[in-house]
Amino acid sequence: MIRSFLTVSTGTLASRLLGFARDSLIAALLGTGAVADAFLAAFQLVNVVRRLLSEGALNAALIPAWLRIRDRDGEAAAAAFAGRVLGTVSAALVVSSIGIALLMPLIITVIAPGFLGSSTLDLAVQNARLMLPYLAFAGPVTVLMGLLNAQGRFALTAFSPLLFNIALIAAIAALLAWHADAVLAAWMLAATVGIAGLLQLLMLLSQRSARLAAPLRVSFDKEMRAFFAKAIPGMIASSGPQWLMVAGAIIASATPAAVSWLYFANRLIELPLGIVGVAMGTVLVPELTRAVGSDDRVAVAHAESRALELATG
């Protein structure tokens, strides 16, 4: 567990540090005015959905189910189950992205009511719509990362998020060198968010992770309904911190530049949580699943004890 924890923590630390570099460059590119507020309000909305998927209960439901089916029925049955999950999640997110795009003016008005009656609202809607393709890629990425974690392949899942930040940093550097207008720069950066998600998905697929989820199907059979009945309530229950961020943006949106200030401050606070909490959860779920599946109470207690020791130092 220690080796896996260090691997995931290192990847998470590298990703968070690149995230700080990315955010510093965003501040240099857009400043902290209306354009930055519009971009960050839209980016925060996409980020909330991404974290609900990647750090929420989807993988906490997927990993035990996949391991149980693999141990009981074999690799082919587990791959077929994962293929139905991947296909259904992907289809649902594509449809949801289209619906969200149509409702985006209303959604931005709800999460940033202070923008109402100003050009910032239109900018936020435009930026959010440009970012929406990322949501269609976030679902498949989350499922494939969960399957790799279930196999103990933590290095790939720990370091693949670096691509997201690298793509954005490269785009920002080019825009800074080009001396692009702030509004145009925000549009181009918003479009890059979707491209970054595609790059992350392609990297996972290049490692043959798709073989873990085949054939790809959309299904709402009894097994899928039971799976989502476990995953969705867990995602809702774990979404509290994300909605606190949204609540902060709702309040801050009435003050010019406050959305930007709040976003950058929150990024600093979340650094230790990401390095320790998220990394430990990523490693602990497969460990506990195997121990519980074999009815090994000693292994369960050992995993929990080691996790507490590592988390508390």
Please, which pLDDT band fits residue 256 given cuts at 50, 70 and 90?
A: confident
The reported pTM is 0.83
Structure confidence by residue, pLDDT tens digits, 201-234: 998 888 776 678 888 899 988 889 988 888 888 7
**pLDDT number for residue 38:** 94
DSSP the chain: -HHHHHHHHHHHHHHHHHHHHHHHHHHHHHTTSHHHHHHHHHHHHHHHHHHHHHSSSHHHHHHHHHHHHHHHH-HHHHHHHHHHHHHHHHHHHHHHHHHHHHHHHHHHHHH-GGGTTSHHHHHHHHHHHHHTHHHHHHHHHHHHHHHHHHTT-HHHHHHTTHHHHHHHHHHHHHHHHHT--HHHHHHHHHHHHHHHHHHHHHHHHHTTGGGGS-S-----SHHHHHHHHHHHHHHHHTTHHHHHHHHHHHHHTTSTTHHHHHHHHHHHHTHHIIIIIIHHHHHHHHHHHHHHHTT-HHHHHHHHHHHHHHHH-
Please, which pLDDT band fits residue 25 given cuts at 50, 70 and 90?
A: very high
Domain map (residue ranges) of the chain: 2-312
Decide which of 9 and 33 is more confident: 33
